[in-house]
Amino acid sequence: MTNADFDWNSIYQFLTGPALWFTFIFFMGGLLIRVAFLFRMSRKKDRVIYNHIDMDWGLRSIFHWLIPFASASMRQQPVFTIVAFIFHTTLLAVPLLLSAHILLWEEAFGVTLWSIPDGLADGLTLVFIATALFLFLRRRIRPEVRILTSARDYALLIITTIPFITGFLAYHQWGPYEAMLILHILFGQILLILIPLTKLGHMVLFFFTRAFIGFEMGGRRGARSW
């Protein structure tokens, strides 16, 4: 079967139709279930934390870990801090604000968002790929990081990067366009499905973790957690 004979359109319609709805329902529902489960578990095992809830300390803890170099550990690793912030910023900005994705949001959910120029998105995609490569090599080269890294960690980083690589190739029509587009959509959906099931869930759990550490360190001990 040749590339021209393959029914790419049917696969595309499936991925942007039923599969897309399933992905977003699983993504949102999975995150809600995971948060609810961890909250219930914390009420059983770490009930004492709830005796020291102080939203001022909680918000200060979150804020200081969202701002580059606002915490002592970030200042101790300046290069990693810069790369990590660029990695996370581009990871969120490109998928959410790419004009082609905005059209999909409008078609599927009737939601219109502000988009960034395609040229800027193109550049940010290359920046993201470069930072992902840096983080991958850092895990391989730094002994103290390598010893804590599992095969799953490498796999998650690779899966996170594939949608950017395939999207970039599809946009520039380098290689088989239909195959690159399908792989881009497919791995994007795989990534969303994996978020509630893996460490990638820290995109939401981060805020709860930092708040709880703020309660414990500040509300209970009167000490900064940053």
Is a pLDDT exceeding 90 seen at residue 184?
A: yes
The tens digit of pLDDT for each residue in 158-176 reads 999 999 999 999 999 999 9
Each residue's pLDDT tens digit, 100-155: 888 877 876 777 778 899 999 999 999 999 999 999 999 999 999 999 999 999 99
The secondary structure of the chain, three-state, reads CCCCCCCHHHHHHHHCCHHHHHHHHHHHHHHHHHHHHHHHHHHHHCHHHHHHCCHHHHHHHHHHHHCCCCCHHHHHCHHHHHHHHHHHHHHHHHHHHEHHHHHHHHHHHCCCCCCECHHHHHHHHHHHHHHHHHHHHHHHHCHHHHCCCCHHHHHHHHHHHHHHHHHHHHHHCCCCHHHHHHHHHHHHHHHHHHHHHCHHHHHHHHHHHHHHHHHHHHHHCCCCCC
Look at 99 and 191; give whichever has higher pLDDT: 191
